Amino acid sequence: MPRPGMRPLNIGHRGHSDTLENTLMSFHQAIDMGAQMMELDVRLTKDGVPVVFHDYGLGRISKKSGNVSNRTSKHILNVELPGGHRIPSLHQVLQELLPRVPLNLELKFRHLDYRPLVTKVCDIVKEFGAESKILISSFHHGSLKIVRRLAPGIATAPLFGWSTGLPHDDDLEELAALPQVNNDLDFRRPAAVLYYAQIDESLTRSFLDYELTLLTYTVDELPEMERLSKLGVDGIITNRPGRLHSYLSEAF
């Protein structure tokens, strides 16, 4: 839950912004810069393999045509990205990163048929025995109910932003009623992830009253890092984990 005066968790956003997002190099460099947790995006390929990629289409990152969900894993995992990077599978990412930091997996899907993605992600996490080191988040809150049913040992966190609006008291009450998950994360109370510009003292007080964990995204500028830290957010998702690490090391 929000803890004024306590140091928030430094969470890398798709790695860090000086290296291509959602790549193994970006993740490792972000950890080296001080990230204590890694946020990344997971989608399904045509043949049902979870891969780590933010966009529905390949164009912005790879300059290739097509969509992730319409291509096989063999095709997706062999797409060459700028700088010689490759799109990693979720299996690869868990194998490389779990020995270093816990992970925040954001579920990405084009349509509301999210059960195949949820099932595959939960199966892989359980295959690694990593339930205690994973937080799964999504803007589609119904998908998180399926996560909790399939893998009650995995922590979940609904995402809120301009498209969803702020959480209401009913949302906070529903979160507070969830069972506490026994995990290796920096927090054990139920969590939510909110857009940084929507967070103020009143909202952090509500999270404190309900004994909830408050994480925020995506915070890259020093004044906002300072403001949110002083408000007592539990974790800050950032493209600049090195900058956040430097600030937190001095302030706390």
For range 29-50, the mean pLDDT: 98
What three-state secondary structure class fits 68?
Answer: helix
What three-state secondary structure class fits 250?
Answer: helix
Q: Quick check: 6 pLDDT over 90?
A: no
Q: Quick check: 37 pLDDT over 80?
A: yes
Q: DSSP states of 90-127 as a string?
A: HHHHHHHHTTT--EEEEE--SSS--HHHHHHHHHHHHH
Instruction: Using alpha carbons, list the distances in angstroms from residue 241 to 15, 83, 222.
Output: 8, 21, 11
Q: Quick check: 174 pLDDT over 70?
A: yes
Where residue 79 falls (left for φ over 0; alpha for ψ -120 to 50; beta otherwise) is beta
Q: Quick check: 203 pLDDT over 80?
A: yes
For range 33-45, the mean pLDDT: 98
State the pLDDT confidence band at 3, using cuts at 50, 70 and 90: low
pLDDT at site 98: 98
User: What span, in angstroms and rounded, lies between the C-alpha atoms of 239 and 235?
Assistant: 13
For range 39-60, the mean pLDDT: 97
For range 146-157, the mean pLDDT: 97
**Average pLDDT over the chain, rounded to an integer:** 95
Q: Which domains does the chain have, with CATH numbers?
A: 19-185 (3.20.20.190)
List 40's β-bridge partners, or say none. 105
pLDDT at site 113: 84
pLDDT at site 188: 79
